């Protein structure tokens, strides 16, 4: 399978238009310490929070204007109108896991199930409207494809993306960027023409470059030919400027330059979003402006000078396809599982050699995404201070397949209270068993991140049935996030598709997305009170007084920390 992957990709060089631009004023910091969220992110959150609170208020009123359970008609509602009017509402985010097209489509279904603009969500009750109340939406690998596809196309709803774009691209498969031979040859020529531009600019190319361009054709309306489609330019989208959408984040992991194939849950996590690119982790603990990725920096200052002697910066390196490709870079599987290229096939080495500029011999670094190190000679970034380049790969390879890490940082303690986690991992038979979220819990505990709630190990996870139904974590831990966990489960379609499946028919696209809708709703017919229980889980992070109805919800859906203290050791 991997050899087939390499052979197909060998025909597709990259398209990343990186150009020299004037640097920002000297007073502008290109690199900053990770001491809190940036002023730009804070400003976006502040404005977004006002819109999100209004939508959350509408949704909470909608789902609590009827009896919740069969015996609750005579009971008071979960909270009174006075409580709702005067309570500081929690901030809610969404994390979409990795898992290839399975994660993209199943995750899209969950978004559809939370979206008030979808036809089947209009009316009384349900979860429709909760997406409009989110402050953040993070994605990893296949989940990053979902986030990027929505953002690049200015956040249409899932039905619009599905019918207007995905159904015309996915049936051909990711390795056939065109609906006919002429279009395919045209795109091939465009990519081959532009690879030389990146090489002339002095950048190395790796497997991630053509991979990102192939994904661009699949997921962006403009496909391979779309210009200025960068991570930083997402901030110019109309819905982003109106603060009408959750702030998008994509994640990946940093590989060691000396032992890049040794990937474990302790690898540094990198987060990438319109305003910043970097890491909270101790080895880096810094962020840079993604608009200037590709600029050679030392001590946080540009090194190269333009002809007139002014500092020269580079722009365009943060191509959104390359960012997506970085988050979903599965090629590292070859070495992280102790497989050399020669063990895969002698042809594998030939394919890589043909992709390398000039006569440079291929090496293991070519399996990673390569970035000029913006933190070079920044001594507080001790893991990377002496590195000229940074090697990144798919975050799922470190067994943190759900992008929870950005939201358990102390810096976001006041911007996220509740996190909806849609887990589409492939732990057992391509269904999740809690391994990803448990590994994040263990890692968080090891490094002292106390906002991650207690998660049971996979064996207990499966015994309790948490791998197949919604569950709330953090109910009894007031200082942690509340996690509303939504695992991929089969409701109406076999949603456990292989991660490496790269071709989906129109019928399969519909089936996967509708099964994802049912994941959000927890059934073909939503269980009585599920939407209200989700509301209770959210409002538990407020100072509202909750009635016995919410207590019933917590008894039904909460993982009780007090009953399982053994798992917190």
Q: Let me know whether 427 and 329 are in one domain.
A: no
Distance CA 418, CA 532 (A): 15
Distance CA 471, CA 554 (A): 9
Q: Would 510 be classed as within a structural domain?
A: yes
Q: Let me know whether 69 and 177 are in one domain.
A: no
Q: Let me know whether 259 and 297 are in one domain.
A: yes
Distance CA 121, CA 100 (A): 27
pLDDT for res 125: 64
Q: For residue 183, what are the domain limits?
A: 1-33+155-225+251-397
Buried b (16+ CB within 10 A) or exposed e, 65-98: eeebeeebeeeebbbeeebbeebebbbbbbbbbb
The tally of domains found in the chain comes to 2
pLDDT for res 84: 66
Q: Let me know whether 273 and 336 are in one domain.
A: yes
Q: Let me know whether 133 and 205 are in one domain.
A: no
What count of other Cβ atoms lies within 10 Å of the Cβ of residue 548? 11
Q: Would 492 be classed as within a structural domain?
A: yes
pLDDT for res 460: 95
DSSP class of residue 448 equals T
Q: Let me know whether 312 and 170 are in one domain.
A: yes
- With H, G, I as helix, E, B as strand and everything else as coil, classify residue 395: helix
- With H, G, I as helix, E, B as strand and everything else as coil, classify residue 102: helix
Distance CA 145, CA 323 (A): 10
Picking from 368, 397, 426, the residue at the C-terminal end of a domain is 397
Picking from 365, 397, 429, the residue at the C-terminal end of a domain is 397
Question: What number of CA atoms fall less than 13 Å from residue 269's CA on the CB side?
Answer: 27
pLDDT along the chain (569 residues), means of 10: 42 57 87 97 98 95 68 58 71 98 98 92 73 99 98 98 96 71 61 68 82 88 73 98 99 93 94 99 98 94 74 91 92 71 40 46 80 95 96 93 98 98 98 98 98 97 96 96 99 95 95 98 94 95 89 95 49
- DSSP letters, 406-436, are GGSSGGGTTT-SEEEEEE---SBTTB--SHH
Distance CA 437, CA 236 (A): 33
Instruction: Tally the residues of the chain.
Output: 569
Q: Let me know whether 430 and 501 are in one domain.
A: yes
Q: Would 237 be classed as within a structural domain?
A: no
Q: Would 244 be classed as within a structural domain?
A: no
pLDDT for res 183: 62
Q: CB under 8 Å to 338, separation ≥6 — which residues?
A: 261
Q: Would 246 be classed as within a structural domain?
A: no
60 closest CA partner among 39, 41, 79? 79
Picking from 397, 431, 462, the residue at the C-terminal end of a domain is 397
Cβ(54)–Cβ(350) below 8 Å:
no
pLDDT for res 13: 37
Strand partners, 393: 253
pLDDT for res 454: 97
Q: Would 468 be classed as within a structural domain?
A: yes
Q: Let me know whether 386 and 260 are in one domain.
A: yes
The C-alpha torsion from 340 through 345 and 346 to 350, rounded to 10°, is -90
Q: Let me know whether 347 and 291 are in one domain.
A: yes
Helix (H) / strand (E) containing 567: none
Packed helices 39-63 and 530-539: angle between N→C axes, nearest 10 degrees: 140
- DSSP letters, 293-315, are TT--EETTEE--B-TTSSBEEEE
Where does residue 200 rank: exposed (0-12), middle (13-18), buried (19+ CB within 10 A)?
exposed
Q: Let me know whether 425 and 380 are in one domain.
A: no
Q: Let me know whether 88 and 172 are in one domain.
A: no
Distance CA 341, CA 560 (A): 47
Q: Would 232 be classed as within a structural domain?
A: no
Q: Would 150 be classed as within a structural domain?
A: no
Read off the pTM.
0.91
Cβ(324)–Cβ(145) below 8 Å:
yes
Q: CB under 8 Å to 164, separation ≥6 — which residues?
A: 156, 221
Q: Let me know whether 526 and 560 are in one domain.
A: yes
Q: CB under 8 Å to 172, separation ≥6 — which residues?
A: 178, 179, 503
Is the CA virtual torsion 297, 302, 303, 307 positive or negative? positive
Cβ(506)–Cβ(101) below 8 Å:
no
């Amino acid at each position: 399978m991997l050899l087939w992957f390499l052979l197909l990709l060998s025909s597709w060089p990259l398209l990343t238009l990186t150009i020299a631009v004037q640097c920002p004023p000297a007073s502008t910091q290109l690199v900053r310490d990770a001491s809190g969220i940036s002023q730009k992110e804070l400003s976006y959150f502040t404005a977004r929070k006002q819109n999100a609170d209004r939508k959350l208020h509408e949704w909470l009123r909608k789902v609590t204007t009827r009896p919740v359970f069969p015996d609750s008609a005579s009971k008071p509602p979960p909270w009174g109108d006075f409580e709702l009017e005067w309570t500081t509402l929690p901030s809610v985010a969404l994390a979409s896991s990795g898992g290839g097209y399975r994660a993209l489509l199943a995750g899209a279904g969950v978004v559809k199930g939370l979206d008030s603009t979808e036809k089947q969500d209009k009316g009384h009750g349900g979860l429709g409207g909760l997406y409009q109340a989110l402050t953040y939406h993070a994605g990893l690998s296949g989940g990053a494809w979902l986030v990027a596809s929505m953002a690049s196309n200015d956040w249409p709803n899932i039905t619009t993306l599905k019918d207007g774009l995905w159904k015309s691209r996915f049936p051909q498969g990711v390795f056939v960027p065109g609906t006919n031979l002429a279009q395919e040859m045209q795109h091939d020529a465009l990519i081959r023409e532009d690879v030389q531009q990146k090489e002339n600019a002095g950048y190395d190319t790796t497997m991630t470059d053509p991979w990102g361009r192939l994904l661009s054709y699949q997921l962006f309306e403009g496909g391979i030919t779309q210009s200025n489609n960068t991570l930083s330019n997402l901030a110019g989208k109309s819905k982003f400027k109106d603060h009408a959408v959750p702030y998008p984040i994509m994640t990946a992991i940093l590989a060691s330059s000396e032992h890049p194939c040794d990937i474990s849950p302790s690898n540094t996590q990198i987060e990438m979003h319109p305003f910043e690119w970097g890491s909270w982790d101790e080895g880096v603990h810094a962020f840079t402006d993604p608009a200037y990725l590709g600029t050679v920096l030392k001590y946080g200052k540009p090194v190269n000078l333009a002809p007139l002697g002014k500092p020269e910066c580079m722009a365009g390196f943060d191509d959104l396809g390359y960012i997506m490709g970085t988050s979903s870079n599965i090629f590292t599987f070859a070495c992280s599982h102790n497989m050399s290229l020669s063990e895969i096939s002698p042809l594998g080495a030939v394919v890589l050699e043909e992709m390398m500029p000039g006569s440079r011999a291929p090496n293991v670094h070519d399996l990673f995404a390569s970035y000029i190190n913006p933190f070079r000679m920044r001594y507080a970034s001790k893991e990377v201070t002496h590195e000229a380049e940074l090697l990144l790969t798919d975050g799922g390879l470190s067994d943190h397949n759900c992008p929870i890490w950005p939201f358990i940082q102390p810096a976001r303690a006041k911007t996220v209270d509740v996190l909806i986690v849609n887990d589409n991992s492939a732990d057992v038979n391509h269904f999740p068993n809690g391994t990803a979220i448990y590994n994040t819990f263990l890692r968080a505990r090891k490094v002292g991140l106390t906002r991650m709630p207690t998660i049971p190990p996979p064996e207990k996870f499966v015994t309790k049935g948490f791998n197949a139904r919604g569950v709330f974590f953090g109910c009894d831990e007031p200082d942690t996030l509340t996690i509303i966990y939504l695992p991929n489960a089969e409701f109406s379609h076999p949603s456990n598709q292989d991660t490496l499946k790269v071709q989906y028919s129109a019928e399969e696209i519909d089936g996967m997305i509708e099964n994802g809708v049912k994941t959000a709703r927890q059934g073909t017919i939503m269980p009585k009170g599920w939407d209200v229980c989700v509301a209770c889980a959210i409002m538990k992070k407020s100072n509202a007084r909750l009635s016995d109805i919410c207590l019933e919800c917590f008894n039904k859906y909460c993982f009780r920390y007090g009953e399982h203290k053994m798992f917190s050791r």
